[in-house]
Chains A and B, each alone.
Chain A
Amino acid sequence: MDLFKWFNRSASSKDIAKERLKLVLIHDRANVSPQFLEMIKGELIKVISDYMEIDEEGLEIKLTRTKREIDNSTVPALVANIPITRMKGHSNI
């Protein structure tokens, strides 16, 4: 029983499976390398930083699939999650 608990202390194996799958599918889905995504990430930060302060550490960008609303079909999607820390003074423009 103690041994069982010991195993449980680390992430459950299904979570490991899920994370590994998600990573490998990024490559499979669009044939893009992590470097390519890093490049997009860098460009995004550059553009957005002109308008707002963002949490670069928390920025997450990934390739996934999504249901398109018009016909409910599944399409690849680039999803970026960009936490904003502060707006810069352009909000009146």
Chain B
Amino acid sequence: MGEVIVVTSGKGGVGKTTTTANIGTGLSLKGKSVVLVDADIGLRNLDVVMGLENRIVYDLVDVVEGVCRQRQALIKDKRYTNLYLLPAAQTKDKNAVNPEQMQKLVGDLSEEFDYVILDCPAGIEQGFKNAIAGANKAIVVTTPEVSAVRDADRIIGLLEASGLRNPMLIINRIKMEMVKRGDMMNIDDMIDILAIDLLGVVPDDDMIVVSTNRGEPAIAIEQSLAGQAYRNIVRRIMGEDIPFMNFESDDGFFKRMARLFGLNKKKQ
């Protein structure tokens, strides 16, 4: 039985889909078999972020309704060895599927794959309930903004109420310069408020925009800071103990960069 991880946030636009794409790609680069499931029915996005939009024939709703077999709907990402995408339906709405059906679908997938990663839609309605139904682990993505942290807090409460204990936090789009100036909440501030375990911190990185333009997850780009952050996150998911990147040091640019790339493991 593989692990089923739902990537969620409450608020839209904080990077759930990007996170799902990068973690999934990263796990497959580490030799794991992975299926990414776009649970955002009616607003599919994971396909374009992964660059697989031209290869969709069947979707999640087709599988649930028995229009096709599960295997037929899975799109193999040819750039990686064992990475598949189950796209969301674009023309139906979130009520086309219920939590029981999702549980069954995800259960079937977890028998075939090491990791099932679910990209949850924004909000706390039906789509959210569907996405978390079959999950046994949850990742909460937030950014250092009051609105995103507030929604993350709400989501953490809802996850725990539905039995998904101990969700893990990813803080996305941290801007080091702003944190240093005291104009952006730092990692400790957010951990203090949300009181959950930190899985990783992803710096704001223009490379994410470029890689999304191309449909190639940044985790595969060696020189991308966000890519490095995602590589660390993937290793933590696999149980390795990787130190966190430090964004608040006062020392020189090169030292800071060295630490960002994990060359200097001073912190934690």
Is B96 in contact with chain A by the CB < 8 A criterion? no
Pick from A48-56, A61-69, A82-90 the stretch touching chain B: A61-69
Contact A74 B160, beta carbon cutoff 8 Å: yes
Tally B residues with Cβ within 8 Å of A.
Answer: 24
Q: Please name all residues of chain B whose beta carbon is closer than 8 Å to the beta carbon of A17 when the two chains form the complex.
A: 145-146, 185
| Closest chain A CB from B134 CB (angstroms) | 21
Chain B residues numbered 137-174 whose CB sits less than 8 Å from any CB in chain A: 144-146, 149-150, 153-154, 156-157, 160, 165-166
Asked if residues A29 and B157 are in contact (CB atoms below 8 Å), the reply is yes
Q: List chain A residues, Cβ under 8 A from B156.
A: 74
Partner of B183, one of A13, A67, A74: A13
Task: Tell me the interface secondary structure of chain B in the complex.
Answer: helix
Q: Are B183 and A65 in contact (CB under 8 A)?
A: no
* Apart from A21-B150, A25-B153, A73-B166: 18 A-B pairs, beta carbons within 8 A: A12-B182, A12-B183, A13-B182, A13-B183, A14-B186, A14-B189, A17-B145, A17-B146, A17-B185, A25-B150, A29-B157, A64-B195, A67-B195, A72-B166, A73-B160, A73-B165, A74-B160, A74-B196
Q: Which residues of A contact B154 (CB under 8 A)?
A: 28
Please tell me which one of the listed residues B145, B182, B194 contacts residue A15 in the complex, with CB atoms under 8 A apart. Answer: B182
Q: How far is the CA of A81 from the CA of B170 in the complex (A)?
A: 31
Indicate if B184 sits at the interface (CB-CB under 8 A). yes
Please list the residues of chain B having a beta carbon within 8 angstroms of any beta carbon in chain A.
Answer: 144-146, 149-150, 153-154, 156-157, 160, 165-166, 179, 181-186, 189, 193-196
Contact B160 A18 (CB under 8 A): no
Q: Which 3 A-B pairs have the closest CB atoms?
A: A12-B182, A65-B195, A14-B185
A24 within 8 A of B: yes
Chain A contacts of B196 at CB under 8 A?
A: 74
A-B contact pairs, 24 of them (CB 8 A): A8-B182, A12-B183, A13-B183, A14-B182, A14-B184, A15-B182, A17-B185, A18-B193, A21-B146, A21-B149, A21-B193, A22-B193, A24-B150, A25-B150, A25-B193, A28-B150, A28-B154, A29-B153, A29-B157, A72-B166, A73-B160, A73-B165, A74-B165, A74-B195
Which residue in chain B gives the minimum CB-CB distance to A8? Answer: B182
Q: CA–CA, A72 to B195, complex, Å?
A: 11
CA of A21 to CA of B148, assembled, Å: 10
